[in-house]
Structure 1
Amino acid sequence: MTEQTTAAQTTTAQPATAAPAAVASRAKLGTRDYILIGVYAALYFVLIAIAAAVVQPLPFGMPFMGFACGILGGVPYMLTLTKSRRFGAVTILGVLLALLMGVIHGNVYTIVTAVAASVIADLIARTGDYRRISLNVLSAGVFNLWNLGLFLPFYIGRNDYLAAMVAKKGETATAQMAGLFPAWMLPVLVVLGVIGGLIGAWIARPMMRRHFERAGLV
């Protein structure tokens, strides 16, 4: 009887020890997650490139570039969250974005803001286990602040930046560009970036309603 009881207790205890391992494996990014992140990152890059192409030629369009990127980038961002629901997916998206923008613009500020915004956005979404729509939408607004680094040279080392711009684009074009970014515009850029991200995520919400419902998002 003693041996049978011990065996039964051992058999009963096995699922309890296996459960944490199963939970731990689900908490880690897998091969499928990396593939999806790559696909959605490519889509995100295409859409923000379209946003930039539409906004930049406008006479007063540059300050609204972050706003436009947030709106068009909402769908791939939300897909990254809902398809993975694991910490690190958004961070990787931000790192890829930082590397791309760092190469294109040669701007270290963009690398810093992209990485910082993506990590904070990832943590916000994680608070709701990537299931709370309100937190996911909020994280999209924070994530869209990656583009703030594109404009920081107008506020950090402004004189040197404008001098370099004069050598490349001439005094007239530089003066026009500098006029778009006075000191008071910096907090406006932050607000526009967050609002653009929120709108983009909210637009993505009804488009992905069926997926949210299947995933059990609230």
Structure 2
Amino acid sequence: MTASNSPVDNTTQTSNHNPGKPAKSGKLEVADLITIGVFAALYFVMVCVATLMSTLFTGGFGSIFLPAIAALISGCVYMLLAARLGKFGGITVMGMVIGLFLFISGHFVLSFIASIVFPVAADLIARAGKYKSKVLLLASYVVFSYGLTGPILPLWFMKDAYIASLQARGKDAAYIDGVFANVNTGTFFISMAAILVCAIIGGWFGQKMMKKHFIKAGIV
């Protein structure tokens, strides 16, 4: 006769099913925060590169199109974070870290608010697909990319306060006129549309890079 499996046998079989791979906790842990910090630093580098590119190649439109350029080149960082972490909070914290830096560096409080609202919304969208749905991750990245609009929205919606801020920092009338030379209703809609298009392209490219290089290399 064949003996039936004892509770000990079942426990052994269960433990051998995924050896060395404890179940993921749904909460952020210390190791997760370190991972988020690394990716936040990488994203910050991408924002700095986007700032340089917008200054060099878009002339007087530099700050207006900075979020779009950042969205175009940061897709890999975002998709890799979502794949590595797979928990709610990572996207939110990364966005808030960048927003906090912008706020501390002298931007309006609106820059920090945008860096909370849009990343939280992006995190919720990604979580709806369990951080695995390509469509929802792409939509999430598009929403996240609008988190960088905080520093430029006051150009259109808080013009007087923005001018007062520049004057308090010692900027002359010629400089202020240059800042607002291309700020109008048309450039507002163009800049918002540019973020949408660039985020779709950047997110799609990030997903392609994930599949082609990072997954095959065992990074995720």
Q: Secondary structure at the match of 2:105?
A: helix
Q: Which one is further off, 153-162 or 136-145?
A: 153-162
CA distance in 1, matches of 2:143, 2:101: 19
> Any conservation in 2 of the 1:82–1:212 contact (CA below 8 Å)?
no
Q: 2:150 aligns to what?
A: 149
CA distance in 2, matches of 1:192, 1:150: 16
Q: Secondary structure at the match of 1:130?
A: coil
Aligned partner letter, 1:33: D
* 1:30-65 superposed Cα distances (whole Å, 9 cap, x missing partner): 232211111111011011101101212423333211
Q: 2:126 aligns to what?
A: 125
Q: 1:38 aligns to what?
A: 37
Q: TM-score of the superposition, structure 1-length normalised?
A: 0.81
> Any conservation in 2 of the 1:165–1:174 contact (CA below 8 Å)?
yes
Q: 1:170 aligns to what?
A: 172
Offset at residue 213 of structure 1 (A): 7.1
**Structure 1: 5+ residue stretches without partners:** 1-7, 16-21
Q: 2:47 aligns to what?
A: 48
CA distance in 2, matches of 1:79, 1:143: 14
Compute the RMSD of aligned alpha carbons.
2.5
Offset at residue 169 of structure 1 (A): 2.5
How is 1:80-95 mapped onto 2 (pairs within 5 angstroms)?
80-95=81-96
Q: Are residue 185 (structure 1) and residue 203 (structure 2) matched?
A: no
Offset at residue 155 of structure 1 (A): 2.2
Q: TM-score of the superposition, structure 2-length normalised?
A: 0.80
Q: 2:137 aligns to what?
A: 136
Q: 2:200 aligns to what?
A: 198
CA distance in 2, matches of 1:173, 1:179: 10
> Any conservation in 1 of the 2:82–2:91 contact (CA below 8 Å)?
yes
Aligned partner letter, 2:190: V
Higher helix fraction (1 or 2):
1
Q: Secondary structure at the match of 1:28?
A: coil
CA distance in 2, matches of 1:153, 1:37: 29
Aligned partner letter, 2:72: I
CA distance in 1, matches of 2:197, 2:140: 11
* 1:124-174 superposed Cα distances (whole Å, 9 cap, x missing partner): 111111001111111111101011111122223312322442563221221
CA distance in 2, matches of 1:211, 1:145: 26
Q: Secondary structure at the match of 1:56?
A: helix
Offset at residue 214 of structure 1 (A): 8.9
Aligned length: 199
Q: Secondary structure at the match of 2:150?
A: helix
Q: Which one is further off, 42-51 or 201-210?
A: 201-210
* 1:63-86 superposed Cα distances (whole Å, 9 cap, x missing partner): 211111111221111111010111
Q: Which one is further off, 107-116 or 158-167?
A: 158-167
Aligned partner letter, 1:62: S
Aligned partner letter, 2:172: G
Q: 1:5 aligns to what?
A: none
CA distance in 1, matches of 2:54, 2:121: 27
